[in-house]
A = this chain, B = another copy of it.
């Protein structure tokens, strides 16, 4: 299925998700709504609520209440984006100025707290105790992952297992939870619930590895600066990690020197990309993402073939070839 057909197939659900997002009871504090609106309606893909809705439907749950529950995952995601922006000192987010550049760090931290609190509130209002169990376990994992990521900055000795731990916690855990909660609402068996979790986890791993690849390969077009954000911030992601493992001493030392450059130029970045390419970093990262996609599809195979399963499969494959 090509991108246009996929979007067309998803559009009725995406429309309902937008409606559900807008219908969440606004804060009594207008300023909070202003900042929340900016981050919630900034062109996100709505991947997380979509996963909840589709996984619920895959398991036979068709109640439209699922949209009202599903948006909690977009709220959680938006909360982490706001805190990430402050922590990373990011200048832009999805092509627009990052929230903290518009409203300051203080307000951005506190509105992040609000969105997080609101997400949990939605879980209570629209979910059940099992949903809350999953969601609160996930937020603990996520917050630990954010700290781990911070501690790993400039750690050129990062192992693949450590990298995996961080991306599982910061990305895959939430997608796994979004899928699992769809199943919970549908009242699935423990086995199916585990399969949905595994599907979401591996899809999330593939998603983040692809994101990390795009941060290198899409840097020129996207940021207009020609330097990947992760590289500039000293974040060691999979392409760099593979290259550091494989390279000979001169190339490894050169890569480390380039990474530690506090004011990297586009040429610094291009040289790093050439070294990573030379030692197969991009190719191997791509292969690794493909393996995760295979794992995700394999988890889905527990469920009987259906149009919803087909849609989830197409969505999973698309995440690998997306350009942003």
Contacts and interface: CB of A to CB of B under 8 A. Distances in A.
Contact of A117 (B29, B107, B128, B143): B143
Interface in A128-162: 128-129, 132-133, 136-137, 139-140, 142-144, 146-148, 150-151
A13 interface: no
Nearest to A120: B136
Contacts of A129: 124, 128-129, 132
A247 interface: no
B106 A144 contact: no
Contacts of A86: 105-106, 109
A85 to B, nearest CB: 11
A302 interface: no
Interface in A22-42: 27-29, 31-32
A143 B87 contact: no
Given A120-B139, A132-B132, A29 B144 contact: yes
A235 interface: no
B87 A147 contact: no
B147 A107 contact: yes
A110 B87 contact: yes
Copies of this chain, complex-wide, total 2
Contacts of A148: 29
Nearest to A88: B106
Indicate the member of A110, A116, A147, A151 with the most B CB atoms within 10 Å: A110
A113 B116 contact: yes
Contacts of A193: none
Interface in A240-282: none
A318 to B, nearest CB: 31
A201 interface: no
Nearest to A151: B31
Given A31-B147, A147-B29, A148-B29, A105 B106 contact: no
A145 B128 CA distance: 27
Nearest to A140: B117
A109 B150 CA distance: 11
A306 to B, nearest CB: 33
Contact of A143 (B105, B110, B123, B147): B110
Indicate the member of A120, A123, A132 with the most B CB atoms within 10 Å: A120
29 contacts: A27-B144, A29-B144, A29-B147, A29-B151, A31-B147, A32-B144, A83-B110, A83-B113, A86-B105, A86-B106, A86-B109, A87-B105, A87-B106, A87-B110, A107-B150, A110-B150, A111-B143, A113-B139, A113-B146, A116-B116, A116-B143, A117-B136, A121-B136, A121-B139, A121-B140, A124-B129, A124-B133, A124-B136, A132-B132
Q: Nearest 9 CB-CB pairs, A to B?
A: A114-B143, A117-B139, A113-B143, A87-B106, A117-B140, A120-B136, A121-B136, A110-B146, A110-B147
Given A29-B147, A86-B109, 11 more contacts: A31-B151, A32-B144, A105-B105, A107-B147, A109-B109, A110-B147, A113-B146, A114-B144, A116-B143, A121-B139, A128-B129
